[in-house]
């Protein structure tokens, strides 16, 4: 990836603290808002173990994340707690021990226009 595109992607992804995750699979199409943090180009979400999203992701790793600033399409990986090598703030939230971490490896980022509708940039990773 070009250095400019990588830097732009890093700058855009680190902004939100919550994201809407959309999955599909045996539990149907699911959408829910979860705590979100970016570490490099990976996004991490804290999702309750009982969520239908976890069931869907066990069968299909494709995921879409949405915020007011961007849309990301990528592949998800489920991570069990505790993870000693991961430093994200949401692990200190009450109830985190009843959750799983979803790591999203983005392969496409669409950046929304500040005013109006649609996207002003798309980045392929």
Q: Which residues of the chain have pLDDT under 50?
A: 1
Quick one: pLDDT at residue 53?
A: 97
Quick one: pLDDT at residue 96?
A: 84
Quick one: pLDDT at residue 72?
A: 95
CA dihedral 76, 82, 12, 9 (to 10 degrees): -60
Quick one: pLDDT at residue 104?
A: 97
Q: Report which of 52, 59, 1 is spatially closest to residue 22, judged by C-alpha positions.
A: 52
Quick one: pLDDT at residue 14?
A: 82
Tokens 């200190």, residue located: 92
Q: May I ask the CATH architecture of the domain 3-124?
A: Roll (2.30)
Quick one: pLDDT at residue 102?
A: 96
CB proximity list for 20: less than 8 A, separation 6 or greater = 31, 32, 33, 34, 65, 66, 67
Provide the residue ranges of all domains of the chain, joining segments of one domain with +: 3-124
């Amino acid at each position: 990836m070009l250095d400019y595109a990588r830097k732009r992607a890093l700058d855009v992804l680190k902004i939100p603290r919550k994201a809407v995750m959309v999955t599909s699979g045996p539990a149907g199409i699911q959408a829910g808002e979860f705590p979100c943090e970016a570490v490099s180009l990976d996004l991490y979400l804290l999702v309750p173990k009982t969520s239908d999203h976890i069931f869907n992701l066990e069968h299909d790793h494709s995921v879409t994340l949405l915020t007011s600033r961007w849309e990301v399409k990528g592949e998800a990986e489920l991570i069990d707690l505790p993870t000693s090598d991961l430093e994200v703030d949401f692990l200190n939230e009450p109830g985190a021990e009843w959750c799983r971490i979803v790591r999203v490896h983005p392969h496409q980022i669409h950046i929304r226009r500040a005013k109006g509708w649609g996207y002003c940039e798309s980045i392929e990773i």
